[in-house]
Each structure stands twice: as C-alpha cells, then as structure tokens.
Structure 1
Amino acid sequence: MAPDRGSAPAHSREATDPIAEPLAAVAKALKGMRYGAIHLVVHDGKAVQLEVTERRRFNP
C-alpha cells in the first residue's frame, strides 16, 4: 500500500485548474526579478518547465 501524503492525487489537482501552478510560479519569478528572462516550456498543451535567467547590472 502506498503511503498517504496528505494531499489530493495529482490527477484531481490538474482537473481543477491545470494552469494555476505554472501561473503562480511565473508570478513569483517576476516579483523577484529586475532584469532577466522567463522561458515557459509547454508539451502537449501543458506547461512542464519554467526557466528563469536573472541578470545583475552594475553601474560603472
């Protein structure tokens, strides 16, 4: 028997709102970034990966 992890199965979370987690991750990345890029990877119409590249600029 598999251990109970205390949360809903992955398929039931996806059924409620499949874009909630990716959108929350993008919002979190944007809040902490001044310069950079966010790349969202999508496979079969689903967000599967978030890549964040942050740049730091220094004044001369």
Structure 2
Amino acid sequence: MAKEVEALQAIVPRLNKMLESMDFGSVTLVVQDGKVIQIEKNEKVRLK
C-alpha cells in the first residue's frame, strides 16, 4: 500500500502542472495492471 501511495504522490504534481499549463484539451491516464504507466496531454489551441 505504501508503494501505491508513493506512486500517486509522484503523479499528482505532474498532472497539476499539465492542467495549469493548458486552457483547452485533455489529459489521459494510461493504466496497466492497476498502475498508471503513461500520461498523455492533448492540447487544443483556439484561434479567434
């Protein structure tokens, strides 16, 4: 259980950074065997 908490504590700051740096788009977590193995960021740029 302690390892899973450590893993989540490492992921959360990265997610926050990604979310703060984008206005529109999506963030996808890729999970394998119950663990996050990849984070994908797809950012949209709106042209007015």
The two structures have a TM-score, normalised by structure 2, of 0.82
The amino acid across from 1:21 in the alignment is A
Count of residues in Structure 1 that have an aligned counterpart in Structure 2: 46
Q: Distance in 2 between matches of 1:30 and 1:45?
A: 23
- Higher Cα Rg, which structure: 1
Unaligned runs of 5+ in 2: none
RMSD: 1.5
CA offset digits 1:10-51 (Å, max 9, x no partner): xxxx72612111111111100000000100001111111000
Q: Which residue of 2 aligns with 1:38?
A: 27
1:26 aligns with 2:6: no
Unaligned runs of 5+ in 1: 1-13
- Runs (4 or more) in structure 1 with deviation over 3 Å come to none
